[in-house]
Amino acid sequence: MERINLKEKEVFKKEGRGMANVVDEPYLLINQVCLEPGQNVPEHQANSNVTLQVVSGEGTFFIGKEKVKAGMGNLLRVPLHSPMSIQNESPKRLVFLVIKTPHPDAAQTDSSEDKNREGRFVNLIKFPALKPGKEKEFREWFGRSSELFAKHPGFISRTLLKSTEGTEQYAAVVEHESKETFMAMHLSDERQMLFKKVETLIDGMPEPHFYEVLTTWRK
């Protein structure tokens, strides 16, 4: 057993954030970040699945389009590729852990080895024509709903497509690890609520088609 004293790992700097490595293993990376009052971590994209745990103080966390204040005892889950930034707006020092699973280096390796992975479940959605003047709202809805769907277990990607044939025709491709994880998301109350909102922006109902990936080739 290894015992780690987080107090001894605290590193504060007059300019910029202080950071100390706590755990560095093939599938787990934990860093401790320290911010003086007024300091921040600039916006960047999560390069792994991230959990933020506040050790002391209170911080303002911007994740996607969400803003939340969190203090000691709070955990924040950040999906892969989500934009995130942290600000210490309080008069006290802020210390928090950044827990990445898997280690970003391992995630990149897995991604390169995953080019021909089989078994993914894909939903191809054809949207009916948008109501006049609703394109901006539709794209905003797609972005907000994708952020929420990305939090569901098994989510891989959600891509919005627009026809290149001169029509305002949209489609979406949703990838999940399995049919089971997709259906758990598909049948959720959250999904039902989100699709009721999009019904006010389109003429008709979305048309879903389901597929299982047999093989994939990527350069």
Average pLDDT, the chain: 87
Residue 119 pLDDT: 58
- What CATH number labels 6-110? 2.60.120.10
Domain boundaries, the chain: 6-110, 114-212
Q: Which amino acid is at 196?
A: K
Q: What is the pLDDT of residues 101-118, one digit of tens each?
A: 877 776 554 444 444 445
Of 24-33, 54-63, 102-111, which range is least confident? 102-111
Q: Tell me if domain 6-110 and domain 114-212 are identical in fold.
A: no
Instruction: Annotate the chain with DSSP letters as a single string.
Output: -----GGGG----SSS-EEEEEEEETTEEEEEEEE-TT-EEEEEE-SSEEEEEEEESEEEEEETTEEEEEETT-EEEE-TT-EEEEE--SSS-EEEEEEEES-HHHHHHHHHHTTT----EEEEEE--PBPTT-HHHHHHHHHHHHHHHTTSTTEEEEEEEE-SSSS--EEEEEEES-HHHHHHHHTSHHHHHHHHHHTTTBSS--EEEEEE-------
**pLDDT-derived band of residue 154, with 50, 70 and 90 as boundaries?**
confident
Q: Calculate mean pLDDT across residues 85-93.
A: 96
Topology of 114-212 in CATH? Alpha-Beta Plaits (3.30.70)
Q: What is the pLDDT of residues 117-145, one digit of tens each?
A: 455 899 999 999 999 999 999 999 999 99
This model's pTM is above 0.75? no
